[in-house]
Structure 1
Amino acid sequence: MKDIYLYNSKSKKKELFKPIDVNHVKMYVCGPTVYARPHIGNARPRIVFDVLSRYFRVVFPNFTYVSNVTDVDDKINKAAQEGNISIKELTQKMLSHFHTDMSALNCLPPDLEVKATESMPEIIELIERLIKNGNAYVSDGHVLFSVATYTEYGSLSRRKLEEQVDGARVSVADYKKAPGDFVLWKPSSAPDPSWESPWGKGRPGWHIECTAMIAGHVGLPFDIHGGGIDLLFPHHENEMAQGCAAYQTKSYCNYWMHNGLINIDREKMSKSIGNVLYVDDLLEDAPGEAIRFAVLSTHYRHPLDWTDETLSIAKQSSRKLHLAKNYFPVKETTTHSQEILDCLADDLNTPKALSQLLVWAKATLNGDQKAHSLLCQGMRILGFGEVDIRSWQPKKTTITPEAIQQLIEERNIAKKSKSYEKADTIRSQLTEKGVVIEDTASETFWYWK
Structure 2
Amino acid sequence: MLNLFNTLTRRTEPFVPIEPGQVRLYVCGMTVYDRCHLGHGRMLVNFDVLYRWLRTTGYAVTYVRNITDIDDKIIERAAQNGEPIQALTERMILAMQEDLARLRVLPPTHEPRATEHVPGMIRLIEVLIQKGLAYSGQNGDVYYSVRDFPDYGKLSGKSLEDLRAGERVARDEFKRDPLDFVLWKSAKPGEPRWPSPWGEGRPGWHIECSVMSECFLGAHFDIHGGGHDLQFPHHENEIAQSEGAHGHAFVNVWMHNGFLRVNDEKMSKSLGNFFTLADIFEKFHPEVVRFFLLRGHYRSPLNYTDGHLEDARQGLNTLYTVLRDYPTVMGSVPDWNGVAEGAFKRALDDDLNTPEAVAVLFGLAHDAHRGEVGAAQRLRALAEVLGLLGSAPVEWFQRGAGLTVQAGDEDQERIEILMAQRQAARARKDFSTADQIRQALLAEGIVLEDKEGTTQWRRS
Give the structure 2 partner of residue 146 of structure 1.
145
Residue in 2 that maps onto 1:14 = 12
Alignment of 1:326-341 (within 5 A): 326-328=324-326, 329-331=328-330, 333-336=332-335, 337-341=341-345
Query: What's the offset of the Cα at 1:22?
Result: 1.9
Look up the match of 1:53: 51
> Counterpart of 2:268?
270
Contact 2:121 2:203 in 1 (8 A): yes
The 3 A distance-change label for structure 1 pair 184 and 375 is same
Q: 2: CA distance between counterparts of 1:219 and 1:42?
A: 26
Question: Corresponding residue for 2:412?
Answer: 401
After superposing the two structures, state which structure 1 stretch, 415-424 or 192-201, moved more: 415-424
Query: Cα distance, 1:434 vs. partner?
Result: 4.5
> CA separation in 1, counterparts of 2:240 and 2:446?
54
- Which residue, out of 268, 279, 282, partners 1:281? 279
- Aligned partners of 1:373 and 1:416: how far apart in 2? 35
Tell me which amino acid in the other structure corresponds to 1:183. Answer: V
**SS of the residue 2:293 aligns to:** helix
How far apart are 1:163 and its partner, in Å? Answer: 3.1
Q: 2: CA distance between counterparts of 1:372 and 1:395?
A: 26
Distance 1:175-1:430 versus aligned 2 partners, 3 A rule: farther
1:417 Cα shift?
7.2
Cα–Cα, structure 1 residues 4 and 439, in superposed 2: closer, same or farther, change >3 Å?
farther
Shift of 1:433: 3.7
CA distance in 1, matches of 2:267, 2:377: 40
Structure 1: distance between partners of 2:276 and 2:75: 21
Query: Displacement, 1:258?
Result: 0.7
Residue 373 of structure 2 is matched in structure 1 by: 369
Q: Distance in 1 between matches of 2:384 and 2:405?
A: 30
Where in structure 2 are there 5+ consecutive unaligned residues? Answer: 336-340
Q: What corresponds to 2:113 in structure 1? A: 115
* Contact kept in structure 2, 1:67 and 1:114, CA below 8 Å: yes
Worse-superposed segment, 387-396 or 139-148: 387-396
Provide the rounded CA distance (Å) in 2 between the counterparts of 1:103 and 1:359: 28
Aligned pairs for 1:90-129 (under 5 A) are 90-129=88-127
Aligned to 1:379: 383
Q: 1:433 to 1:244 in 2, by over 3 A?
A: farther
Structure 1 pair 123–315 and aligned structure 2 pair: CA distance change class (3 A): same
For residues 349-360 of structure 1, the aligned pairs below 5 Å read 349-360=353-364
CA separation of 1:368/1:77 partners in 2, compared to 1, >3 Å: closer, same or farther?
same
Q: Aligned pairs, how many? A: 446
| Counterpart residue type for residue 12 of structure 2 | K
Among 300, 303, 308, the residue aligned to 1:302: 300
Distance 2:30 2:306 in 1: 26
Superposition deviation, residue 221 in structure 1: 1.6
RMSD: 2.4
Structure 2 residue 193 is the aligned partner of structure 1 residue 226 = no
TM-score, reference length from structure 1: 0.92
Q: Distance in 1 between matches of 2:236 and 2:426?
A: 66
Q: 1:396 to 1:347 in 2, by over 3 A?
A: closer
Amino acid at match of 2:283: D
Counterpart residue number, 2:256: 258
- How many percent of aligned residue pairs carry the same amino acid? 40
Amino acid of the residue matched to residue 169 of structure 1? R
Change in Cα spacing, 1:207 to 1:411, as seen in structure 2 (3 Å) is farther
1:87-123: CA deviation from partner (whole Å, max 9, x where unpaired) = 1010010111110001001111011101001111111
In the TM superposition, what is the alpha-carbon distance from 1:152 to its structure 2 partner?
A: 0.7
Measured after TM superposition, the shift of residue 409 of structure 1 is 4.8
CA distance in 1, matches of 2:165, 2:437: 63
Contact 1:164 1:234 in 2 (8 A): no
Counterpart in 1 of 2:160? Answer: 161
Distance 1:335 1:130, change over 3 A: same
Equivalences for 1:153-192 in 2 at 5 Å? 153-167=152-166, 169-192=168-191
Distance 1:136 1:442 in 2: 77
The answer on whether the counterparts of 2:426 and 2:434 sit within 8 Å (CA) in structure 1 is yes
Q: Distance in 2 between matches of 1:415 and 1:356?
A: 42
C-alpha separation between the residues in 2 aligned to 1:363 and 1:424?
Answer: 34
Identify if the C-alpha distance between structure 1 residues 208 and 447 changes in structure 2 by more than 3 Å, giving closer, same or farther.
farther
Q: Is the 8 A contact 2:36 2:276 kept in 1?
A: yes
For residues 397 and 131 of structure 1, do their structure 2 counterparts lie closer, same or farther at Cα, with a shift above 3 Å needed?
Answer: same
1:82 to 54, 77, 80: 80
* Residues 364-414 of structure 1: per-residue CA shift (max 9 Å, x gap): 133223211210111111111334473766666687333344445555666
Choose which of 334, 344, 351 in structure 1 pairs with 2:348: 344
Q: The residue matched to 1:49 in structure 2 has which SS? A: helix
Cα distance per residue 1:39-74 (max 9 Å; x no partner): 111111111111111110011341111100011111
Is the 1:24–1:60 Cα contact (8 Å) retained in structure 2? no
Q: What residue identity is the alignment partner of 1:346?
A: D
CA distance in 1, matches of 2:225, 2:12: 15
Secondary structure, aligned partner of 1:114:
coil
- 1:29 is matched with 27
**Structure 1 residue 81 displacement after superposition:** 0.8
Structure 1 residue 338 displacement after superposition: 3.4
Which stretch has the larger CA shift, 218-227 or 64-73?
A: 218-227
Secondary structure class of the residue paired with 2:311: helix
CA 1:438 to 1:206, structure 2 compared with 1: closer, same or farther past 3 Å?
A: farther
CA gap of 1:186–1:325, structure 2 versus 1, over 3 A, is same
The AA in structure 1 aligned to 2:245 is: A
Q: CA deviation at 1:320?
A: 2.5
TM-score after normalising by structure 2: 0.90
- CA shift, 1:421, in A, is 7.0
Cα pair distance change 1:138/1:419, threshold 3 Å: farther
Alpha-carbon offset, residue 316 of structure 1:
1.7
Specify whether residues 370 and 118 from structure 1 end up closer, same or farther in structure 2 by C-alpha distance, changes over 3 A only.
same
Structure 1 unmatched runs, 5+ = none
